[in-house]
Amino acid sequence: MIPAEFDYVAPDTLQEAIAARTAGGEDAKFLAGGHSLLPLMKLRLAAPTLLVDLRKVPGLSGVTRENGHWRIGAMTRHAVLQDSHELGAISTVAAGIADQQIRNRGTIGGSLAHGDPASDLTTAFLAYEGTLTATGPDGPREVAATEFFQDYLTTALAEDEVITEVRMPRLEGYGYGYEKFTRRAEDWAMVGVVALVKQADDGTCEDVRIAMTNMGSTPLRARAAEDALRGRPLDAGSIAEAAGHAADGTDPPADRNASEAYKRHLAQVMTRRALTSATK
């Protein structure tokens, strides 16, 4: 399958890239690793008239630690996150994306900009309550994860903005778990759950964040399950009870792999497993 024709530029600076994107009009697209965009173009579900490749733009890759946050360049590939074990849950989540070939090419900025509720890093970004920098012709602005995902494949990014950096709080003292249920090893999850749990000295749950893939048109927090666990002793009983609320308030779309009822069931089971891993 061959994509429709398009023009291509690979500018040397961010300013040139943004200018090229703006000049290209509404059908121009930024290209990062290409592992969300190129499959859509090959299927002719997307047909941009211009691709502005970010591969030559300096300073967009790498992981650094600063003021209680991880700063992750938008062009940082999943394989780099996978190998950065100090990132904890983010590393584990990245290691579970698709397969090694995909992880070697796909980028965190591309994944977030695509805004697919089925993708792993969007969900981790929401669980961490991260922030990102969106840079456009008027300069950079900060967007919180809680405001970023607006609808299916729709984010708060303006047409001529590009993600340049992603920040995740370091969340010292949190345990984590990531569980995804797939039909085949490399598939997107039918449902995936990221759980981050901070245990207080007395063994109760001081803080918990639970985020789910594929349970709606955006990645979602399992607020009812979080509320059921916060402040409670962390044991198998309280975890199972909280996990029972994972699908509360959700309206997951059925797809070819899973009905709505099955997804609601999976959300509960994956949440219980992820919470159990996070409290080990």
Partner 1 sequence: MSDEVAISVTVNGQVEHVRVEPRLLLVHLLRDELGLTGSHVGCDTSNCGACTVQLDGQSCKSCTVLAVQADGSEVKTIEGMGTEDDLHPLQEGFWAKHGLQCGYCTPGMIMAAADLLERTPNPTEEEIRHGLEGNLCRCTGYHNIVKAVQHAATAMQSAEVSA
Residues within the interface to partner 1 (CB under 8 A): 1-8, 10, 31, 34-35, 38-39, 42-43, 51, 53, 55, 79, 98-102, 104-105, 185-186
Question: Are 272 and 240 within 8 A, CB to CB?
Answer: yes
Q: State in angstroms the smallest separation of the CB of 5 from partner 1.
A: 5
Smallest separation (angstroms) from partner 1 to the CB of 28: 13
Q: Which is nearer to partner 1, 31 or 191 (CB)?
A: 31
Mode of pairing for the β-strands spanning 50-53 and 191-199: unpaired
- For residues 265 and 260, give the distance between their C-alpha atoms in angstroms, rounded to a whole number: 9
Whichever of 42 and 141 has its CB closer to partner 1, that residue is 42
Q: Could you tell me the smallest distance in angstroms from the CB atom of residue 2 to partner 1?
A: 6
Is the CB of 1 or the CB of 201 nearer to partner 1?
1
Cβ pair 125, 166 in contact under 8 A: yes
Minimum Å gap between C-beta 121 and partner 1 is: 17
Nearer to partner 1, 35 or 209 (CB): 35
The distance of closest approach from Cβ of residue 49 to partner 1 in the complex, given in angstroms and rounded to an integer, is: 9
CA pseudo-torsion sign 209, 215, 220, 226: negative
Is the distance from CB of 87 to CB of 63 less than 8 angstroms? yes
51 vs 242, beta carbon nearer partner 1: 51
